[in-house]
Copies of this chain bind each other. A is one copy, B any other.
Amino acid sequence: MENPKVTMLTGATPSLLNNSMPDLALRHSQNPILSPSQVQPSRPDMKVECLLNPGVFYFDGLVWLVVRVAERPVQEEGKLSFPVLKNDSVEILSFELADPLLDTTDPREPRYEGETFLSTLSHLRLFRSGDGVHFEDAGLPILHGKGELESYGIEDCRVATMNDGTYLLTYTATSSKGYGVGLRKTSNWKDFEEMGMILPPANKDCAIFESKVNDKYYCFHRPSGVGLGGNFIWLASSPDLQHWGNHICLAETRKEMWDSNRIGAGAAPIMTKEGWLAIYHGADFENRYCLGALLLDKQNPANVIARSEKPLMQPLEDYEQKGFFGNVVFTNGHLRQDDEITLYYGASDTVIGSAKFSITEILKTL
């Protein structure tokens, strides 16, 4: 594809970045760069609760974010209301809090008559920026869940920018049938080809590599086990992006470390002279989410060359420690220019931040 004509990366000068923190991330001093109050709800009877985990790409000379917007109906006293999609339209279910069939033990996943719902409904919204810091709603149609496998919404979109000018969106498709990975393809961000669910439940955190390796497509994904297994990062390959096989377990959680409980991929890995550099999230049993890195063999990404002992980034700032779900830095989108990675991330499942990393500095820690 043609080279992006983006000037933003010179826009963020070092004086605007905050490097007082004891990790490798140079956070932008204007963080959070996007907050729920800046975003219009999709309907007047809904409220934007959280912004989460954007995918990132260059398009039309600008930097774009595809942000997960989680909305909740405006609540009435004594009731619990949550939204679902029926025939691709929002329907608001409302129950008396006193109803004995309603179970709100986990406020994020209310249950009614034994069926599990989500308290918020997520869609994907496009924002654009000339400088990579100041974003505006692009005014393009919202990306909603479609069909019965997305009736609880779509979440955490990774965007792979392919050499042929197409963009691949992998996202978490949620419904009463479970959460799996959906795929849509676009080249203009107006028309989307729906390519179905590419990984069945329970699966999320899928990032497609932006180029083939040995004539095959690759992706990271994160199946979740029942009984045996855990929340590990897996690798799969595909001849056509729509059908996947040769699943192997790439990396597991590590006992008594910062990534002891669950791990999952960030965005597509970055080709460096040492190999594929993949930034991933890891959480411990206190659900503190940090970021680390994996270095994978160029010719065989199933071969892990190195892995971060310490996190590259931790929830240290106030907005990373407090929010809808505190103590979280979580990324599924970044831009790369020469040695510099500009990472966008969800902080405390509430706001969006930006931080820069030096690839050389990351590689030195591996």
| Contact surface of A with B, Cβ cutoff 8 Å | 109, 114, 116, 118, 148-149, 152, 174-180, 195-203, 221, 223-230, 232, 234, 236-240, 242-249, 252, 255
Evaluate contact between A149 and B200: CB separation under 8 angstroms: no
A228 to B242, CA, bound (A): 24
List of B residues within 8 angstroms of A199 by Cβ: 200, 247
A227 to B228, CA, bound (A): 16
Contact residue among B179, B197, B243, B252 (Cβ-Cβ distance under 8 Å from A229): B179
Evaluate contact between B196 and A246: CB separation under 8 angstroms: yes
Supplied contacts A176-B228, A177-B230, A202-B225, 16 more A-B pairs, CB within 8 Å: A116-B227, A148-B249, A174-B228, A175-B228, A176-B229, A177-B229, A177-B252, A178-B225, A178-B249, A179-B228, A179-B229, A196-B246, A198-B247, A202-B226, A237-B243, A243-B246
Evaluate contact between A239 and B240: CB separation under 8 angstroms: yes
Evaluate contact between B244 and A177: CB separation under 8 angstroms: no
Smallest CB-CB separation from A179: which chain B residue? Answer: B228
How near does chain B come to A173, taking the closest CB pair, in angstroms? 10
Smallest CB-CB separation from A242: which chain B residue? Answer: B245
List of B residues within 8 angstroms of A148 by Cβ: 249
List of B residues within 8 angstroms of A177 by Cβ: 225, 228-230, 232, 249, 252
Evaluate contact between B247 and A229: CB separation under 8 angstroms: no
List of B residues within 8 angstroms of A149 by Cβ: 248-249
List of B residues within 8 angstroms of A175 by Cβ: 228
Evaluate contact between B200 and A223: CB separation under 8 angstroms: yes
Smallest CB-CB separation from A238: which chain B residue? Answer: B243
Evaluate contact between A246 and B197: CB separation under 8 angstroms: yes
Evaluate contact between B176 and A247: CB separation under 8 angstroms: no
Evaluate contact between B247 and A180: CB separation under 8 angstroms: yes
Contact residue among B200, B225, B247 (Cβ-Cβ distance under 8 Å from A247): B200
Q: A248 with B202: in contact, given A230-B178, A243-B238 (CB under 8 Å)?
A: no
A56 to B261, CA, bound (A): 41
A198 to B176, CA, bound (A): 24
A114 to B261, CA, bound (A): 12
How near does chain B come to A331, taking the closest CB pair, in angstroms? 22
